[in-house]
Structure 1
């Protein structure tokens, strides 16, 4: 690096007119020059004078000449200047962002002794050194000062580190003290005194990993961070050299400028040799003592001020190249590059390696919107339009990487089967995965789009041609793995990452829910598909049909439009959404329903007022109903009762709306009583649980509050009497009997005699239960009741009435069971036969009348034949000895093998002749070799 003279900003005077301070603003737009006559002059980056203001004394009565300025410093946001004065005060002036804005003092920091030097760290606080040896931090927001440490000797210099997290203070006794304001420094770099120099360290700088010290001994000493001397530039034998008065390091920390008398010396760090080297000094005749130095934050310029008021500007450039007549690339240091567009007035991007590596191979890519550069150990990518820079560790890959910039938030780097994601502005690799498919259409990344409540970063890519993998980039685990039966040629996540669309080689469009991993085909013959920006609306084209899914949660109901030509893009801007179509040489647009798109966007942005306004202007339709329901679900999730009430009213759900309004009244009472958020109200929680149907949860909430009466009242209102009595019994409630009586009264009034019978049966009141069952005409419960309590059979009159009713209602099975209990098997058998409960009839016959079993088996078979259950009837006919009927059933059921077995046991050939022909014809047609015997038998019969 060399210093090249550019221009004179301020001319020298014929008298002592010392420049007491220089400061470049962090945004590189302003240069402040403090003069001995207590003024601050402001210049633009081109060195043109644009503004000035005078400073004020701490004590107005002491007069305007009672002090001098001892130092100045810009704020991190470039809108304020701190001015240190010898009359024991630091003023902070607000100068604004634009030229000509009114200057005003926004902070005053009185000090116990005169201020000698000042810096403003990037981390926020102002640091000043005092004559009494104290170093103090000045907090802008609180307007308070605090002492960081104290020494016994005057502070002559302050030097910040490049990160703005710590500083060095030089004292007149030669001590150099290091202090950090944050805890992110290296543990090996201890705080406190680290160096004792042989002379007062007026020239002090803190480049990366080293400390530069110069003073009246005409030596420049270089120490490492542990205070060990690593280099000594000794000019004590040079009679033309004088003491070093001031020092400044470059923003990259790889160069240091030291000022003395009529001379500036530049020291560069050789990254390849890992040592500091001196370049040829810059001689400035008749400049006299260098009193101030400042390095522009982009590293391109150094300004120096002298004893007679002169201010010179020098350019610090290693080399400069032009990229395709579009960008100027200026290497201002080994690890710092300034990239500026040539055709606009934009300020460009400062490319700086945080690791101090030498930057090489700077390339502008991605339609001139992105930048890629390298060091030996890192890769740098930058978004030029948003000034976002990332530097990530990168091994030597022979520079075979392919870069993709289609995604505005992340750079895709593909190399040797590995895909790496680098988020712009983040210095850590977002994700690395193995894949052989580097096509951007087969990779989809979504990073915190649409302002999510929590971190939402997802990646979808192809594991192979038929398998999609979806990864959560926040937690680093796989969400889903989707397998398909055909090759996939396009995929894309929606902006929230909750849905994935993909298309296969058969032009089928499929939708995947990334949460449930469900997959369904939603369109076929698809030639174009795209998610609409800032929405969950999808658009696809198939032939001359354009399908729009305004509600992707209902993929089976897309809106279809007839179009001509091929859709090439869908654009949304200026409150309009249009599909761009190309038909031959003609290009035209098809406007979509921006209102429907807007509704989805409003929901995603939680702008419910906008969503309601849109729905209120819609006509009543099934689509509007679905949207109101969607809005209701969201409102309930967020416990927004007012919104939920409005939605339920629109849906015509009067009961829910009424319940929600009562809940809102409960919430209002809670606010008035406790002055807290109504979401903290247990009564509101319980009512919402009731609305969700979670009665057990509501009960627990009431019980936790000790309010059992509220839980009982809830069950009573919902007519859950069994639950209410169960709870009262568990808690031994005093109103248990009252509840039981109240339930019984209600059941009697509503004619629920069967329920009464169940209750009485449970209480052991069997006779009363029998009466209720008869009265309710629910007679099927009676046999089980009689089985449980046989003594009821002794009431012959009641049992006779029960049997009469059972037979009248043709409940023969139940009647038969009662007859069995009365030990009347014949009547029971008759009822089983009438009810066609043949299995129980046969079982009973085997016990009491074995001679009737054969007849019952035949009747059972006949019943099955009537019901066309031929296959089931065969075995019963065989049991009954009715072989002809069994053969008929087997032939009718086409159970030919069974028919062969049956026909063999029938001796009457004339009777089975027709069956032989049927069976033989079947086997002959089926070409089964086993039919030969049957065919021969048939021939014998016919012959």
Structure 2
């Protein structure tokens, strides 16, 4: 034990804050002492007739704020990291609170409890501001250097804090809403919401590997690659492969194939698309690349997956592109893409047009589109579909059209 300093009066209000000891008492003066126990700042209220003696003090858990209690009043001081001084906020005056005898902060710094000589207990919300991030997270700034990130669905909070005392300027949630990334003037804060692990990177925000990692978290693979290429990074290929492996290990096949596609590896991307159950994306990629379209075995594999998934219209686009009209027509028919089927049949299989028009009409009847079905039955053939055309007209309450169709039929058809 030893003496630190002689204070002018009994320091009833005493708090150990960031880089300072705050002391106050009956002389109505607040003094901030530095590490070497020299006076840093003095706040003198001895000439304020409304102010009485200071009775208690408490520093926030992060040490960035100090609250001092007196009679009917709370005085709040916040540490400014940029100016390295204490700044006074607007005092909180509460009539009939009387002498404040006890102060206690919630461990995360978001609440302050106040006890009084008369036995009263008051609780105050101490946040600087709140915001909602993508309707999924609540960001509560409890101090310049501390933010509470709460998952709105689970209610789980994570405290993000700059241990250097720097003001947190921006908070982002990246990587499938798992990772926290925050900037201060001189540091980078990183956090894992799943494991609740937090760290701070010093003056490393401009280091190219940190910038590359942030770009990858934001799905900007091209920017990450450009940053590494500019630095001539020898492990660029290994870094990309590690990221690709991580995507596969975490069952993010779609992102993995997008990465492969962005790097020009079409075959690998198609393989991943098919593995992820996305044959339509694989077909789109093949249709956009002539060298892949020439791979007959690959195209057959994709069309088989499309047909299995009942994605007939995409399969027939692929068949038509490789000049297989028979398979394309069959897929158009199975996918109920009758407009494309009729157009193709008129060019390649004219005899099939009548059957397709009838099938088109049948499909429209099933969809309760009776009025639209009539014309397709007429296009098919009066001999084949006259009864269907009349029934559709009657069902659609198109009386004049039904009479018109009847007039075109011979007596045998009309008598039926």
TM-score, scaled to structure 1: 0.25
Instruction: Tell me, in whole angstroms, the C-alpha distance in 1 between the residues paired with 2:42 and 2:225.
Output: 46
Aligned to 1:250: 60
Q: Does 1:235 align with 2:51?
A: no
Q: Does 1:386 align with 2:182?
A: no
Instruction: Tell me, in whole angstroms, the C-alpha distance in 1 between the residues paired with 2:211 and 2:234.
Output: 16
Instruction: Tell me, in whole angstroms, the C-alpha distance in 2 between the residues paired with 1:209 and 1:445.
Output: 46
Instruction: Tell me, in whole angstroms, the C-alpha distance in 2 between the residues paired with 1:299 and 1:215.
Output: 25
Q: Residue 252 of structure 1 aligns to a residue in which SS?
A: coil
Q: For the structure 1 residues 289 and 370, does the alpha-carbon distance in structure 2 shift closer, same or farther, using more than 3 Å as the test? A: same
Instruction: Tell me, in whole angstroms, the C-alpha distance in 2 between the residues paired with 1:274 and 1:267.
Output: 13
Deviations 1:98-149 (A, max 9, x none): xxxxxxxxxxxxxxxxxxxxxxxxxxxxxxxxxxxxxxxxxxxxxxxxxxx5
Alignment equivalent of 1:304, drawn from 99, 103, 114: 114
Q: Does 1:336 align with 2:153?
A: no
Instruction: Tell me, in whole angstroms, the C-alpha distance in 1 between the residues paired with 2:25 and 2:272.
Output: 72
Structure 1 unaligned runs (5+)? Answer: 1-148, 150-191, 407-412, 420-432, 450-488, 491-503, 509-525, 530-563, 567-580, 588-943
Q: Residue 9 of structure 2 aligns to a residue in which SS?
A: coil
Aligned to 1:196: 6
Instruction: Tell me, in whole angstroms, the C-alpha distance in 2 between the residues paired with 1:199 and 1:369.
Output: 52
State the Cα distance separating 1:586 from its structure 2 match: 3.5
State the Cα distance separating 1:206 from its structure 2 match: 1.2
State the Cα distance separating 1:232 from its structure 2 match: 0.5
Aligned to 1:375: 184
Q: Residue 47 of structure 2 aligns to a residue in which SS?
A: coil
Matches within 5 A, 1:638-657: none
Aligned to 1:220: 30
Aligned to 1:322: 132
Matches within 5 A, 1:698-847: none
Instruction: Tell me, in whole angstroms, the C-alpha distance in 1 between the residues paired with 2:131 and 2:305.
Output: 42
2:113 touches 2:122 (CA, 8 Å); kept in 1?
yes
Instruction: Tell me, in whole angstroms, the C-alpha distance in 1 between the residues paired with 2:71 and 2:25.
Output: 12
Instruction: Tell me, in whole angstroms, the C-alpha distance in 2 between the residues paired with 1:264 and 1:506.
Output: 66
Aligned to 1:208: 18
1:376 touches 1:396 (CA, 8 Å); kept in 2?
no
Aligned to 2:175: 366
Q: For the structure 1 residues 313 and 416, does the alpha-carbon distance in structure 2 shift closer, same or farther, using more than 3 Å as the test? A: farther
1:269 touches 1:277 (CA, 8 Å); kept in 2?
yes
Deviations 1:845-889 (A, max 9, x none): xxxxxxxxxxxxxxxxxxxxxxxxxxxxxxxxxxxxxxxxxxxxx
2:188 touches 2:205 (CA, 8 Å); kept in 1?
no
Instruction: Tell me, in whole angstroms, the C-alpha distance in 2 between the residues paired with 1:298 and 1:379.
Output: 20
Instruction: Tell me, in whole angstroms, the C-alpha distance in 2 between the residues paired with 1:582 and 1:297.
Output: 56
Instruction: Tell me, in whole angstroms, the C-alpha distance in 2 between the residues paired with 1:301 and 1:366.
Output: 31
Structure 2 unaligned runs (5+)? Answer: 250-259, 274-299, 311-416
Instruction: Tell me, in whole angstroms, the C-alpha distance in 2 between the residues paired with 1:251 and 1:267.
Output: 14
Q: Residue 26 of structure 2 aligns to a residue in which SS?
A: coil
Alignment equivalent of 1:283, drawn from 93, 117, 124: 93
1:327 touches 1:339 (CA, 8 Å); kept in 2?
yes
Instruction: Tell me, in whole angstroms, the C-alpha distance in 2 between the residues paired with 1:319 and 1:506.
Output: 48
Instruction: Tell me, in whole angstroms, the C-alpha distance in 2 between the residues paired with 1:444 and 1:200.
Output: 65
State the Cα distance separating 1:278 from its structure 2 match: 0.9
Q: For the structure 1 residues 585 and 299, does the alpha-carbon distance in structure 2 shift closer, same or farther, using more than 3 Å as the test? A: farther
Q: Residue 193 of structure 1 aligns to a residue in which SS?
A: coil
Instruction: Tell me, in whole angstroms, the C-alpha distance in 1 between the residues paired with 2:95 and 2:305.
Output: 71
Matches within 5 A, 1:451-462: none
Instruction: Tell me, in whole angstroms, the C-alpha distance in 2 between the residues paired with 1:445 and 1:226.
Output: 53
Q: Residue 201 of structure 1 aligns to a residue in which SS?
A: coil
1:319 touches 1:331 (CA, 8 Å); kept in 2?
yes
Aligned to 1:262: 72
2:211 touches 2:227 (CA, 8 Å); kept in 1?
no
Deviations 1:346-382 (A, max 9, x none): 2321111111111012112122222111011111111
Instruction: Tell me, in whole angstroms, the C-alpha distance in 1 between the residues paired with 2:179 and 2:144.
Output: 21
Q: Which aligned segments of 4 or more residues in structure 1 are displaced greater than 6 angstroms?
A: 504-508
1:565 touches 1:584 (CA, 8 Å); kept in 2?
no
TM-score, scaled to structure 2: 0.55
Deviations 1:808-854 (A, max 9, x none): xxxxxxxxxxxxxxxxxxxxxxxxxxxxxxxxxxxxxxxxxxxxxxx
Q: Residue 292 of structure 1 aligns to a residue in which SS?
A: strand
Q: For the structure 1 residues 442 and 369, does the alpha-carbon distance in structure 2 shift closer, same or farther, using more than 3 Å as the test? A: closer
Instruction: Tell me, in whole angstroms, the C-alpha distance in 2 between the residues paired with 1:354 and 1:416.
Output: 32
Aligned to 2:411: none
Q: For the structure 1 residues 364 and 507, does the alpha-carbon distance in structure 2 shift closer, same or farther, using more than 3 Å as the test? A: closer
State the Cα distance separating 1:441 from its structure 2 match: 3.7
Aligned to 2:404: none
State the Cα distance separating 1:438 from its structure 2 match: 9.1
State the Cα distance separating 1:242 from its structure 2 match: 1.6
Deviations 1:606-658 (A, max 9, x none): xxxxxxxxxxxxxxxxxxxxxxxxxxxxxxxxxxxxxxxxxxxxxxxxxxxxx
2:113 touches 2:123 (CA, 8 Å); kept in 1?
yes
Instruction: Tell me, in whole angstroms, the C-alpha distance in 2 between the residues paired with 1:438 and 1:416.
Output: 15
State the Cα distance separating 1:264 from its structure 2 match: 0.5
State the Cα distance separating 1:279 from its structure 2 match: 1.4
Q: Residue 243 of structure 1 aligns to a residue in which SS?
A: coil
- Higher RCO, Cα 8 Å, sep 6+: 2
Instruction: Tell me, in whole angstroms, the C-alpha distance in 2 between the residues paired with 1:202 and 1:389.
Output: 37
Aligned to 1:835: none
* Structure with a larger share of its residues in strand: 1
2:33 touches 2:40 (CA, 8 Å); kept in 1?
yes
1:417 touches 1:435 (CA, 8 Å); kept in 2?
no
State the Cα distance separating 1:205 from its structure 2 match: 1.0
State the Cα distance separating 1:271 from its structure 2 match: 1.9
Matches within 5 A, 1:354-433: 354-395=163-204, 397=206, 402-404=214-216, 414=224, 417-418=227-228
* Structure with a larger share of its residues in helix: 2
Matches within 5 A, 1:167-206: 192-206=2-16
Deviations 1:45-103 (A, max 9, x none): xxxxxxxxxxxxxxxxxxxxxxxxxxxxxxxxxxxxxxxxxxxxxxxxxxxxxxxxxxx
State the Cα distance separating 1:444 from its structure 2 match: 7.0
Q: Residue 417 of structure 1 aligns to a residue in which SS?
A: helix
Deviations 1:391-433 (A, max 9, x none): 1124454996534459xxxxxx9486349xxxxxxxxxxxxx6
Instruction: Tell me, in whole angstroms, the C-alpha distance in 1 between the residues paired with 2:136 and 2:52.
Output: 46
Q: Alignment RMSD, CA only?
A: 4.1
Q: For the structure 1 residues 298 and 255, does the alpha-carbon distance in structure 2 shift closer, same or farther, using more than 3 Å as the test? A: same
State the Cα distance separating 1:583 from its structure 2 match: 5.9
Instruction: Tell me, in whole angstroms, the C-alpha distance in 2 between the residues paired with 1:234 and 1:434.
Output: 61
Bigger Rg, structure 1 or 2? 1
Q: Does 1:346 align with 2:155?
A: yes
